[in-house]
Chains A and B, each alone.
Chain A
Amino acid sequence: MAMATIGNNGAARRVEDEIFKQGRDLRGAGFRMVLLAALAVSTLILIVLLVQVLTDGWPVIDERFGDFWSGTLRSRSSDDALGISQGIAGSFWIAVFVAVLAFPIGISAAVYLEEYAPRNWLTSVIDIAIRNLAGVPSVVYGLLGLFLFVKTRDGNSSLMAGGITLAILVLPIVVITAAEAIRAVPSSLKEGAFGVGATKWDVIRSQILPFAAPGILTGTLLSLSRAVGEAAPLILVGAITGRLAPRDGSFFGADQFFDRFTAMPIVIVGWVQQSGRDEGFAAAAGAAIVVLLAFVILMNSGAVLLRNYFEKKRG
């Protein structure tokens, strides 16, 4: 409260100044303009970014999108078979790993923290661990993946290693957003259910999870899009940036879990690096970004819309 008092004193003094000062509030208008400019610049950056990426990638999308979609990593940008199918497959499976591992574990952990956890040292340790994990740079997760999965397997990177690493990376985000959604469940609902003899599990299953579902879904969508866009840990784990021989197996084949792999963001990094010697790769990278961005923005706006819809609905 000390702050508040000081603030008010300052305001009073300022008001005194202003009463004796005639005319319009130029300083106030200027202040407002500066703030608006900050917001405008931020928005403008986003627009410029989108335009830049689109114009760079447009030639590829316009001329040969079908081939580009089904093509593979090549050493020359003029190669007709150059494309992103391997990146798409890798990113798809990484998303599956995240959904299968991080979502159930993360949501369960959130349920424990909000509904079961007693107030003791262990709970605070778990709490601190989760909050700090959320702030650990993504490369460090890459180091963990490298240590756990690659070093012990004679330096062979694999899709599974990448998938598990990213599942670990987004786990704290899933926990934090799910816990927030669970905390928002009105206690009157829980009490009503307990009052007619529901067990804790009954209450979680029939009241808490259904009510928190939209919030949890928002969190999972955000973390999924984060995982799909993340590159640094995959680079550490050894995703392939250069050339990756096309596989014989099908897109969904589980045999690829133990193979060398790439993913959309890694494809982009690789092409950006190669654009130094072969300019055509820049356009390919732009086109790949358009595909990645379309997916990520779709998921993010889906999450935001979902959240806004339910916020409005529940007042």
Chain B
Amino acid sequence: MVNVTPSVQDALKGTRVDEDATTATDDIAITVPTAAASSGPQDEPSGDDLVFDVSELSVFYGDFRAVRDVNMKIRRNEITAMIGPSGCGKSTVLRSFNRMNDLIPTARVAGNLLYRGVDLYDERVDPVEVRRRIGMVFQKPNPFPKSIYDNVAYGPRVAGRKKGLDEVVESSLRKAALWDEVKDRLQDSAIGLSGGQQQRLSIARAIAVDPEVLLMDEPCSALDPIATARIEELMAEIKAEYTILIVTHNMQQAARVSDRTAFFSVELDEANDRRTGLLVEYTDTAKLFSNPDDQRTENYITGRFG
């Protein structure tokens, strides 16, 4: 179960209103075991396996609340997908996981976002330090106008690493399944690569700083199906080493690659005609796509809405 807002629930379908929902985040029911969850505890994740503990998270732009009431527990070495119609705030939530929202002057986060037990929005926390542990791959491939080598070496360099860059570049490019294609032209400009190659380069660049978590914001939306398939393959390969969160507008992709899926939706605030996103359901991917608890999820995955 996840929290629901009674009014919305009523308005949409008249399902049973779970009065305890907002306080019931501690016992997310996991009914269907997931084959991929190697760490495998079917009950409450804790300790080492709990990477992010999100509760009552809201993101504001100025006084406008873009997303509200996000409650999620994200596990180590799993792929968590975030899906939902456009404007539901899934990217906004993703970007609050490594404080990329700090770059938007008016953005503000309320609620709790614990990363391995530490509040990411504690005033002492330096976003730079956060981003070195929680890397990000963006919607559009964004290689720097530098050589392939310098792109990958950029992160380690700004982190102060001077020695052993060759090894880091090679291992990162290998992990990103790009090494064989570019090993003979590492000094060529990254701008000359194809879109799919550029996106894998972005992944290599992100993992070169040896992060623990990778955030992927619709990484395949600008790519063709073949390049998309390669990225998905790659995600499965590197899952053993990283905890991955992926935002996607492609439900099939979420179903294919993820262990757990969060479905976000939007509701219209009649009072000021603004759309606020909210987390509707967060559960095992297999369950979410076969037997969702929430009617809105059902509507969305069967294509009746969004």
Contact = CB atoms under 8 A, between A and B. Distances in A.
> Do A and B interact directly, with beta carbons closer than 8 Å?
yes
Interface in A153-192: 186, 188-192
B11 interface: no
Interface stretch (B134-142, B231-239, B296-304): B134-142
B138 A193 contact: no
A197 interface: yes
A275 interface: no
Interface residues of A, number: 20
B205 A199 contact: no
Given A119-B105, A191-B103, A196 B144 contact: no
User: Interface size class for chain B?
Assistant: 20 to 34
Contacts of A210: 145
A189 to B, nearest CB: 6
A229 B138 CA distance: 48
Interface string A189-227: 111111111110010001100110000000000000000
B98 A195 contact: yes
A206 B154 contact: yes
A137 interface: no
Contact of A197 (B103, B142, B209): B209
B158 interface: yes
Contacts of B100: 191, 194-195
A119 B104 CA distance: 11
A198 B138 contact: no
A118 interface: yes
A188 B138 contact: yes
A199 to B, nearest CB: 5
Interface string B138-164: 101011110000000011001100000
Interface stretch (B39-47, B124-132, B266-274): B124-132
Contacts of A199: 128, 158
B206 interface: yes
Given A197-B129, A198-B158, A202-B158, A190 B135 contact: no
Contacts of A190: 103
Contacts of A193: 144, 154, 158
Contacts of B137: 195
Interface string B63-105: 0000000000000000000000000000000000010100101
B103 A196 contact: no
A189 B128 contact: no
B158 A206 contact: yes
A194 B208 CA distance: 14
A195 B132 contact: no
B202 interface: yes
Nearest to A197: B132
A191 B135 CA distance: 11
15 contacts: A186-B142, A191-B138, A192-B143, A193-B144, A193-B158, A195-B100, A195-B131, A195-B135, A196-B135, A196-B136, A196-B208, A197-B155, A197-B158, A198-B158, A206-B154
For the complex of A and B, the 9 pairs showing the least CB-CB separation, nearest first, are A197-B132, A196-B155, A195-B136, A188-B142, A197-B131, A192-B142, A202-B158, A198-B158, A199-B128
